[in-house]
Amino acid sequence: MGWRQEVAASRLLEFHAPWRRTALIGAITSRSSRRDTRNPERKTMSHITTKDGTQIYYKDWGPKDGKVVTFSHGWPLSADAWEAQMFHLASNGFRCIAHDRRGHGRSSQPWNGNEMDTYADDLHELLSKLEIKGAMMVGHSTGGGEVARYIGRHGSKRVAKAVLMGAVPPIMVKSANNPVGLPMEVFDGFRKAYLADRAQFFLDVASGPFFNFNRPGVKVSQGLIQSWYMQGMMSGHKNAYDCIKAFSETDFTEDLKKFDVPTLIIHGDDDQIVPIQGSALLSAKLVKGAELKIYKGGSHSLGDTAKEQLNADLLAFAKA
């Protein structure tokens, strides 16, 4: 495919429904892959293959000699969810790396391994193969759990700082030991709605509580809704289903106690997906010396609804 054809194809994406955009993306990627096979120097996509054969896609933006910032995305999204933050930090001299978790985005969709230990191991393999050291690890929602389990499981040899933003630790589900958690019925409801009509469930989440678009007076962005929906629909059906258990029932308490790097915890006080009382307020007590920033009226998706503030806070913390 020549460059003029690629430009034309990219313009077509702007006008097609999400499912057609996904199909077009697949067609363009397939042709690009064939072209790369003929000319290896023109590599357009980056993957690693894990020890169990799973392909993990990643983006690597910014100067290769810059200090590294890694990004772990939330459910059921992809590395695309971090583009505003990656662009901002890369434009300020940082090397930004974000991957699609197994079963999400452009990574492959293995039947097994859709749990936090394997997510953390995949991230460890990625950082090892890229020979990353001294990284600031940033995780949102499920990605915050991934960062916590990474440090708990693999230590901080490759980590200089950590940021948990709207993150699920220490544990979401309610229990005798976690009376401020959400009842299991909430997550059973997620699974029921997901299996009944996954596409409609994703639309309901994106158009309502994820961005706080269900709050009075909030300006709704149809573009954000469609972007969230498209990313969600690119996830594997079983992978995203299994991940509901992973993000809701995994206990990260002991992982947080192992943090030995400067840590910034950011959370919106109107987060409807991961309520602050059972997450950030508890995590800040478990991580020694953690700095807690609360965004007044903040949603779950601060990377979109409080973009300028989050970008400034991440850059300041990265430079500190």
Residues with a catalytic annotation lie at 141, 271, 300
CA–CA separation, 249 vs 38, rounded Å?
46
Edge to edge, the sheet with strand 95-99 lists: 46-49, 55-61, 95-99, 68-72, 135-140, 159-165, 263-268, 291-295
Per DSSP, the chain holds a count of helices (H) and strands (E) of 13, 8
CA–CA separation, 189 vs 196, rounded Å?
10
Distance of CA 51 to the CA centre of its chain: 22
CA–CA separation, 256 vs 170, rounded Å?
7
- CB 56, CB 47: distance < 8 Å: yes
- Contacting residues for 40 by C-beta, under 8 A, at least 6 apart: none
CA–CA separation, 145 vs 222, rounded Å?
29
Structure tokens at 19: 């499912």
Q: Which of 148, 133, 144 is nearest to 65 (CA)?
A: 133
Q: Which of 172, 131, 174, 168 is nearest to 147 (CA)?
A: 168
CA–CA separation, 121 vs 176, rounded Å?
30
Enter the DSSP assignment of 218. P
